[in-house]
Structure 1
Amino acid sequence: MNLDAISLQSWYATPQGLLANRFIGESIDRLLGERRLDAMLGMGYPHPYLERWAPRCESILVASPAEMGAARWPARAANRNILMRPDALPYPDESFSWVALTHLLEGVNGPKPVLREIWRVLKPGGRILVVAPNRGGLWARRDNNPFGWGRPFSPAQLRQQLEEALFIPKQAAFALFMPPLFGRRWERWERWGAAWEKAGERWFAPTGGVIVCEAEKVVYAMTALRDKAGVIKQKASIPALERRATHGVEKSGE
């Protein structure tokens, strides 16, 4: 279960949400470096981070689950946010260079169909960026923040989900090391938050409240095989077989 877009929008406007946005965004920036992002699709509720990515992108579209609702983005231009089913995206194959997931994977019933659909719309060599609550962090154990809702992941579990969907994990980082306890004196947390983040990255990385993981879509070439008579046959790649099987299930369901 994911929170609705209005609740997420309200939380990110609080002091706690502003700090979380800052520290998660800085962690993502370090992970991505200076790379261009080209055509990007943001899924779930990526709104707090879109302004950071916009200067690097040729285009950005946003897709939110229907049950979450849509928050307009950008605020002062034509809306680029649509409602959709995460496992049935209304885009052609190989449409995007990057897909970013925030406040999505922990709330879907099954991560694999969603990740396989993202694999479909990514270009070969495209990247997926996942921001998900860390099972070993404090933020997943408190429901006073969005990362305390839904299903948290350990780093190994998130990696397994990506690999089963035929992605190759490339690198990962952690963010939100400060405790999710904000009271009237939140200014102290703002003052010491950067110190918490720096110390956590250096000594306590697995205890971060959020995992940020980057993975790549790799398409393997077809391999020529010979049968007993010496006739050359083509062996389809694993992604091609999985995709064919998926389409077969969809047709039979119709």
Structure 2
Amino acid sequence: MFVDVVDLRNFYAQPLGIVARRLVGRGIRARRNGPRGERIVGIGYTTPYMGLFREDAERCLAFMPASQGVMKWPSNRPGLAALVDESELPLTDSAVDRVLLVHALEMADDPVRLLREVWRVLAANGRLIAVVPNRRGLWARIDTTPFGHGRPYSRSQITRILRETSFVPNGWGEALFVPPVQRNWFLRSAGVWERFGPSVLGPFAGVHIVEATKQAYRAIAVKRERRVLVPRLEPALAPSAGGAAREGGSLTCASMTGASGEGTTGERATDQ
């Protein structure tokens, strides 16, 4: 279930939310290696991070799920945000070059269906950047932040669901090593936490930041016909039309040869 858009806005207006925006934005910027003039769509609550793309993009849209709610964005320009059904995006096939998912994958009722829809609207070799809470991190265990809601993922689980939906992960990053403490004096040390976190607290980051490429040629399941094996009986020797048939049985070759040999010997003895 998606967090309400008002709660998301209020979180990013607080000191802890401002720090989270800066640290997560730094990780997204590290994955921002595409050309200028891209068509970019953010799904979930991506407006705190869309400014990283808006100046260089040809078109930049923010799609907010219906169960979350929508807010005007940007505030001082014509609106670029829309309320959508995340499983049926109002875009044609291969319409955008890059998709950003924030507060989306872990909140979706059907994450596989969401990723399949993202695959549909991405152009060939389009890129996906997803910010997903780490199930080992402190941020996923405390529900006072949006990262503590929904379904957190491990790196192996993210890899599995991306491959299931025909994406190839090709870049990883982590952010939010600083504990989610609402104290201004503690938040001043956030830069130190982020600097030494990857080497000291690597598996316990707050979020994963994964970049994946759309696999243009998906594997198609082949329906195999089930073969039914029909047993067959071995052929039996048919009885001869002679005495074996009158006796109602069949004689083997050996018995027939033996009987024939005895009769011949008896006849020769009689003749002698």
What is the aligned partner in structure 2 of residue 133 from structure 1? 133
Deviates more, 1:25-34 or 1:165-174: 25-34
Question: In structure 1, how many angstroms separate the alpha carbons of the residues matched to 2:110 and 2:68?
Answer: 16
What is the aligned partner in structure 2 of residue 70 from structure 1? 70
Question: In structure 1, how many angstroms separate the alpha carbons of the residues matched to 2:105 and 2:75?
Answer: 25
What is the aligned partner in structure 1 of residue 193 from structure 2? 196
1:9 partner letter? R
Runs of 4+ in 1 over 6 A off after TM superposition: none
Matched, 1:208 2:205: yes
Preserved contact between residue 37 and residue 98 of structure 1 (Cα < 8 Å): no
Deviation at 1:204, TM superposition (A): 2.0
Deviation at 1:34, TM superposition (A): 6.7
Question: In structure 2, how many angstroms separate the alpha carbons of the residues matched to 1:136 and 1:151?
Answer: 12
State the aligned residue count.
221
Deviations 1:75-107 (A, max 9, x none): 111111111111111110000000000001111
2:209 partner letter? V
Matched, 1:12 2:9: no
Question: In structure 1, how many angstroms separate the alpha carbons of the residues matched to 2:12 and 2:162?
Answer: 27
What is the aligned partner in structure 1 of residue 172 from structure 2? 172
Alignment of structure 1 residues 13-162 onto 2, 5 Å: 13-33=13-33, 35-36=35-36, 38-162=38-162
Structure having the higher strand fraction is: 1
1:25 partner letter? G
TM-score, normalised to structure 2, is: 0.78
Deviation at 1:35, TM superposition (A): 4.5
Larger-Rg structure? 2
Deviation at 1:56, TM superposition (A): 2.2
1:180 partner letter? P
Question: In structure 2, how many angstroms separate the alpha carbons of the residues matched to 1:88 and 1:49?
Answer: 23
1:28 partner letter? I
Deviation at 1:55, TM superposition (A): 1.8
Deviations 1:101-122 (A, max 9, x none): 0001111111111100110000
1:215 partner letter? A
2:207 partner letter? V
Matched, 1:218 2:215: yes
Deviation at 1:71, TM superposition (A): 1.2
Gaps of 5+ in 1: 221-236, 243-254
Question: In structure 1, how many angstroms separate the alpha carbons of the residues matched to 2:122 and 2:52?
Answer: 21
Deviates more, 1:74-83 or 1:134-143: 74-83
Question: In structure 2, how many angstroms separate the alpha carbons of the residues matched to 1:29 and 1:205?
Answer: 19
Preserved contact between residue 181 and residue 187 of structure 2 (Cα < 8 Å): no
Secondary structure (helix, strand or coil) at the match of 2:55 reads: helix
Question: In structure 1, how many angstroms separate the alpha carbons of the residues matched to 2:138 and 2:94?
Answer: 37
Preserved contact between residue 133 and residue 211 of structure 1 (Cα < 8 Å): yes
